[in-house]
């Protein structure tokens, strides 16, 4: 692939991420993605034959980047306190930079649960072995992990509702999320 072709493909993927995150697979249109990427629809189909193929690559890229970093944190030799702190910092920072990813993933999980099951069954499976070793039982580790994930992700999924409910501007809600990071760490540490 030439540098121009690589650049075009990356531009398509960048624009597709935005469209798919806003509209999901069913609501996205190839013509809209082509327009945003500054190419015609035929050129888009040269790189990606179907909308499903393009979506699959976008979905995998969004998850892979996120999951690889999470895996590194959970599988590290660090103490549990360090892992929890790093997980919360990374997750909230990554989601602040890409706030539509949680809703995008949840929407697609509800629409096609098998897609995520298949994704996480392969090479992208989170290995929780080192994380679980810090707990007296697998059940305790699973409950703690579920709490940690929920506390970090829910404020991003529920953002539109919570901004309205709290009467916050988007900037005020961003501040709320920054303050919440330390609160989450504190609450999780109390469970250890």
Residue-level pLDDT, tens digit, the chain, 192 residues = 788 788 889 899 989 988 887 787 788 999 999 999 999 999 999 999 999 899 888 877 777 777 888 989 999 999 999 999 999 999 999 888 877 778 777 877 787 788 777 766 666 677 888 999 999 999 999 999 999 999 999 999 899 999 999 999 999 999 999 999 999 999 999 998
Predicted TM-score (pTM) of this structure? 0.79
Residue 64 and residue 13 in contact, taking contact as beta carbons nearer than 8 Å: no
Asked whether residue 72 is domain-assigned, the answer is yes
Asked whether residue 43 is domain-assigned, the answer is yes
Q: What is the CATH number of the domain that holds 29?
A: 1.10.10.60
DSSP H or E segment with residue 10: helix 3-27
Whether 37 and 79 map to the same domain: the answer is: no
Residue 134 and residue 75 in contact, taking contact as beta carbons nearer than 8 Å: no
* Buried/exposed 71-87: b ≥16 CB within 10 Å, e otherwise: eebbeeeeebeebbbbb
Whether 35 and 67 map to the same domain: the answer is: no
Domain count along the chain: 2
Q: Give the domain range for residue 173.
A: 60-191
Whether 156 and 104 map to the same domain: the answer is: yes
Whether 95 and 40 map to the same domain: the answer is: no
């Amino acid at each position: 692939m030439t540098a121009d072709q690589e650049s075009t493909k990356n531009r398509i993927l960048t624009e597709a991420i935005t469209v798919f995150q806003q509209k999901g697979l069913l609501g996205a249109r190839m013509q809209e993605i082509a327009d945003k990427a500054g190419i015609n629809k035929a050129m888009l189909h040269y790189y990606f034959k179907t909308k499903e193929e393009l979506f699959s690559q976008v979905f995998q890229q969004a998850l892979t980047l996120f999951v690889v970093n999470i895996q590194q944190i959970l599988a590290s030799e660090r103490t549990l306190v360090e892992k929890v702190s790093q997980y919360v910092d990374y997750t909230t920072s990554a989601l602040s930079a890409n706030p539509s990813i949680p809703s995008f993933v949840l929407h697609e999980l509800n629409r096609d649960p098998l897609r995520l099951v298949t994704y996480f069954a392969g090479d992208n499976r989170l290995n929780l072995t080192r994380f679980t070793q810090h707990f007296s039982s697998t059940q305790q580790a699973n409950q703690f992990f579920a709490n940690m994930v929920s506390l970090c992700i829910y404020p991003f999924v529920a953002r539109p509702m919570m901004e309205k409910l709290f009467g916050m501007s988007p900037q005020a809600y961003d501040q709320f999320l920054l303050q919440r990071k330390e609160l989450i760490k504190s609450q999780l540490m109390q469970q250890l």
